[in-house]
A = this chain, B = another copy of it.
């Protein structure tokens, strides 16, 4: 299972086409075909249906592993290269949108403990944060997600990463102010399984997470929102296009926010780091989780 073969396999699965994957990888269709054939021969089973190109059950299984493996391979290379490169001037920090509120605190701590350090900030989707930190593209990451009160976040590819909890916050259901449920003091998620949901996986709680949390197959999106702008999502909710689950602090004036009481879930922010020295990271984490809202 050569990583090259795995890489073309995921490319083909993503593109849904041998030729498109070939173009993306700089191979010929023939080479891609040979790669897939080699993988299928090696594993002794078809991995893709052709025409249309869709993974078989075995292929699905392999796909689940391939991404993390390739990511970890990159992380290993980045990690080794870092030991030979001279220490970078800039410290890079990435955060998912709903974790970005902690960026300012993190930044202040960095300025205090390492004055003069050049800092680069990035806000991007959760996957991009974890992958970037794993691959050494960022030094630090702040990701948010939902989890049971004292459980860690189920980060997809956190294989080589250290994580530290940084903040917890109640979850609320965001809904239009005139919604029948808007006056409720609290509600159970699974009563809303068949409501109109907006899936904003890069921003709010992804519906797939709600499904696993609620142990239900419902929570199907009426609308999918790709983007990281909180304000526009809230506008969509206010206009009645659907519901979303958010951390309490993300709610704003235009919408109603009702606490989600069942199941017991919280919005959680974690600090990720792949290679920072342990003391530096824990110092930062303690500042992030403490109330350093002085000045």
Binding site for B on A (CB under 8 A): 1-3, 43-45, 47, 57-58, 61-62, 64-66, 68-69, 72-73, 75-77, 79-84, 150-152, 159-160, 212, 215, 278-279, 282
A215: chain B residues within 8 A (beta carbon) = 279, 282
Q: Is the CB of A58 within 8 A of B72?
A: no
Partner of A73, one of B58, B64, B69, B279: B69
A278: chain B residues within 8 A (beta carbon) = 212
Partner of A84, one of B45, B80, B84, B159: B45
**In the assembly, what is the distance between CA of A2 and CA of B73, in Å?**
10
- Say yes or no: A1-B73 contact (C-beta < 8 A), given A65-B160, A159-B159: yes
Measured CB to CB, the nearest residue on chain B to A150 is B150
- Say yes or no: A81-B160 contact (C-beta < 8 A), given A72-B68, A76-B66: no
A3: chain B residues within 8 A (beta carbon) = 1-3
- Say yes or no: A76-B58 contact (C-beta < 8 A), given A1-B3, A3-B2, A159-B68: no
